[in-house]
Each structure stands twice: as structure tokens, then as C-alpha cells.
Amino acid sequence: RKEVEQDPGPFNVPEGATVAFNCTYSNSASQSFFWYRQDCRKEPKLLMSVYSSGNEDGRFTAQLNRASQYISLLIRDSKLSDSATYLCVVIYNSGGYQKVTFGIGTKLQVIP
Amino acid sequence: SQTIHQWPATLVQPVGSPLSLECTVEGTSNPNLYWYRQAAGRGLQLLFYSVGIGQISSEVPQNLSASRPQDRQFILSSKKLLLSDSGFYLCAWSTGHQPQHFGDGTRLSIL
């Protein structure tokens, strides 16, 4: 089983739609979770952190479910500019150092 | 504020030639530094990470190497490039449990 799994998509949604992505992780000792956005041929950029209590930033909501070992990203009122690949990141300590694992990314295409 | 610089932005190299990609971070001390590779249509693969000067850990066996001669400098090298080394190379930094921040990346094409 992969350490971090994401559906690569693509998710094709119309403008204004609500879309949700999930990302599952295998290590129950994982400590930190993030969502990144990566535009085509560009570097990943931090979108938001993920907490058990939830994290909302405008149209974006991130949630952590420790019991089921997954994190989610919800995008409301999708815009054309939201088209990108969304990467989940899971961090845990292993042997005294941080192990950072990226998911493969979920591609979102918002259609006019 | 912290910034990360990575260069060159693009590079075209023949098979068998050497490689040197450089990454520097400003505005922070003793950062964790990372080199990733992203092949076309694939996810990020961690190549090397460093928690301090001269401390390099390799995640996957390969013909690449990394060095950290200074606290905020991270270099990715190869003596002889292979076709399979083509890809998008990304340098990143972080501190503690904070998220990583990436450089602009280097797009490497091997001919």
C-alpha cells in the first residue's frame, strides 16, 4: 500500500460547482498535513494546512479525519483559475528526522 | 522574509555529461533542504534531504549525488547523466514541522 494515495483524476467540473478531493495515508503516526496546488510546469505552492478541527480559507475547506486516516479538500463555487493539480502532503517523524510524503496529485479542470 | 533561489530554470544536456544544479535559501538558518524530481505525468519523488551542513540522506539509489557545503546551499550533481534523468527538479526548504517551500524548479532535458 502506498504511504499516501490520491485519485489522479482528472476531475472535470463546471464553473460554480463544488468539488471535493480525498487523500488517504497509511501511517497512523503522521503528524502534519498540508494541501499544495501545482500549476502546469510550475512548482507546488502551499495552499493550506489541515487540522482535525478543520481549516477554512475563503472557498477552500480542508479537513483531517485521523480515525479513518484521510484528509480532504473542498472547493466551493469553482473558478476557472482553480484549474490545477492538488497535492496532499503527509509528514511524520522517523528515526529523528521528518519524513515528507507527497501524494501523486489530483488534477482539477474547471470548465466554463 | 525567506526566499529560495534555484537555477538554472531550464537545461538541455547530452547523455553522459555532468550536472550541477544549485539551490540557495535566504532569510532562515539551519533549514531542512530537499531535492525532488517530478517526471512527466508523475508525482514528486524525494531524491535527497539534508538537516545540516554535510549531512545528506538519499531516498533512492541513482547516479545523482547531493552536497551541502554551506548552511543555506544545496547542490545536486551527476558525473554522467542518463536519459532517465530527464525531469523537473525541485529544491525545497522547511523548518520544524512547517510546510515546505519550493524553488521555481529546473526543467532538465537529456538528449
DSSP assignments along B22-72, one per residue: EEEEES-SS-EEEEEEE-TTS-EEEEEEEEETTEEEESS-SSEEEEEEETT
Q: What is the pLDDT of residue B39?
A: 83
Contact call for B100 and A100, based on CB within 8 A: yes
Phi–psi pair at B84, nearest 5 degrees: -70, -5
Q: One-letter amino acid identity for B67?
A: S
Confidence (pLDDT) at A77: 98
Tens-digit pLDDT profile for residues A10-36:
999 999 999 999 999 998 888 899 999
- Cβ within 8 Å, pair B44-A32: no
Q: Would you call A44 and B43 a contact, using CB atoms and an 8 Å cutoff?
A: no
Q: How far is the alpha carbon of B19 from chain A, nearest alpha carbon, in Å?
A: 21
Q: Most A CBs within 10 Å: which of B6, B44, B46, as the mutation test of the A interface?
A: B44
The sign of the dihedral angle between the CA atoms of A39, A45, A48, A52 is positive
| Averaged pLDDT for residues A39-68 | 93
Q: What is the pLDDT of residue B97?
A: 73
CA dist., res. B1 & res. A110, Å (int): 33
Task: For residue B47, give every residue at least 6 positions away whose Cβ sits within 8 Å of its Cβ, in sequence order, or none.
Answer: B35, B36, B37, B58, B59, B60, B62, B64, B66, B76
* CA–CA min distance A9, chain B (Å): 12
B85 alpha carbon, distance to own chain's centre: 13
Chain mean pLDDT for chain A? 92
- Could you report the per-residue pLDDT of B35-63, keeping only the tens digit for each? 999 987 778 889 999 999 999 988 876 78
Low-confidence ranges of chain B (pLDDT < 70): 61
- Taking CB atoms and an 8 Å cutoff, what residues of chain A touch B88? 41
pLDDT band, residue A95 (cuts 50/70/90)? low
pLDDT range class, residue A103, cuts 50, 70, 90: very high
Distance from CA of A36 to the nearest CA of B (A): 10
pLDDT of residue A96: 62
Q: List, in sequence order, every residue forming a beta bridge with B75; answer none if it has no partner.
A: B22, B67
